[in-house]
């Protein structure tokens, strides 16, 4: 009886440990941009353990993509917007210079659909967030975003609130990297941390 109870306790501890730590693998080491590729002339750098994107003198679009492609996955990350803060997280994306093919989960200033999904150089907005969810973004503070991509379905969350859920055949056929964006126009700065991916 004592052995049985001990086995049960060990099993519970093991399951609890796995569930608590199964939040994916870090894709940013907090030191440098190893594992990432810069597209364009905008600024991407590491400062105080944070990944920072900032407008450069050209004030054009810029991207930072993973060397590795990700198909079905869940990514969680935190971002803090300074100044304009217009950015985004791209999934299943490929690049020709700074022309991107893929799908963007919007990271934008207040009242501009953070958490919505946009197809660059394609159909444009696929789904914008409901107006009543615009107050979930905390401008000038750390926000947590989660994106789940499985087949043609993408679900997004912002600060633990579900933002959109879409299923699309074109997304299902997409292949490519995860990428962060800096929007054109200048005056933009966004900080990122705790980028973790769990492949599904």
Instruction: Kindly report, residue by residue over 169-194, the tens digit of the pLDDT.
Output: 999 999 999 999 999 888 899 999 99
Contact 107/114 with Cβ under 8 angstroms? yes
> Terminus-to-terminus CA distance in the chain, angstroms?
39
What predicted TM-score, i.e. pTM, was given to this entire model? 0.87
| pLDDT classification of 104: cutoffs 50, 70, 90 | very high
The arithmetic mean of pLDDT across residues 55-70, rounded, is 94
- Two tokens at 84? 């304009």
What per-residue confidence (pLDDT) applies to 24?
A: 92
Give the residue from 143, 170, 167 showing the smallest Cα distance to 81. Answer: 143
What is the spatial distance between Cα 76 and Cα 194, in angstroms, rounded to a whole number? 7
Give yes or no for residue 107 having a pLDDT over 60: yes
What per-residue confidence (pLDDT) applies to 83?
A: 77
Reported as a single tens digit per residue, the pLDDT across 18-56 is 333 477 999 999 999 999 999 999 999 999 999 999 998
Output the CA torsion 129→26→179→41 (10° steps).
130
Give the residue from 86, 122, 120, 115 showing the smallest Cα distance to 100. Answer: 120
Contact 165/57 with Cβ under 8 angstroms? no
Q: Provide the strand spans (E) within 27-167.
A: 36-39, 43-47, 50-54, 62-69, 73-83, 87-96, 99-107, 117-119, 124-127, 142-150, 153-158, 161-167
What is the spatial distance between Cα 196 and Cα 48, in angstroms, rounded to a whole number? 18
| Every domain of the chain and the residues it spans | 26-199
87: Cβ–Cβ under 8 A, 6 or more apart, which residues? 53, 79, 81, 107, 108, 180, 181, 182, 183, 188, 190
Superfamily the domain 26-199 falls into: Exo-inulinase; domain 1 (2.60.120.560)
Output the CA torsion 149→155→157→163 (10° steps).
150
Give the residue from 116, 123, 110 showing the smallest Cα distance to 89. Answer: 116
């Amino acid at each position: 009886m004592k052995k049985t109870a001990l086995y049960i306790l060990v099993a519970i501890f093991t399951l609890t440990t796995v569930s608590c730590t199964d939040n994916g693998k870090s894709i940013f080491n907090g030191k440098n941009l190893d594992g990432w590729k810069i597209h364009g002339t905008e600024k991407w750098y590491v400062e105080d353990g944070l990944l920072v994107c900032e407008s450069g003198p050209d004030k054009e679009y810029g991207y930072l993509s993973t060397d590795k492609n990700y198909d079905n996955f869940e990514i969680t990350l935190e971002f803090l917007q300074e100044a304009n803060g217009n950015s985004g997280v791209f999934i299943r994306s490929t690049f020709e210079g700074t022309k991107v093919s893929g799908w963007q989960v919007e990271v934008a200033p207040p009242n501009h659909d953070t958490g919505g999904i946009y197809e660059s150089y394609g159909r444009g907005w696929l789904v914008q967030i409901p107006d009543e969810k615009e107050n979930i973004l905390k401008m000038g503070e750390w926000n947590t975003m989660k994106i789940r991509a499985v087949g043609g379905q993408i679900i997004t969350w912002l600060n633990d609130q579900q933002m959109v859920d879409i299923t699309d055949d074109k997304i299902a056929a997409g292949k490519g990297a995860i990428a962060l964006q800096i929007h054109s126009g200048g005056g933009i700065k966004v900080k990122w941390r705790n980028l973790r991916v769990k492949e599904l």
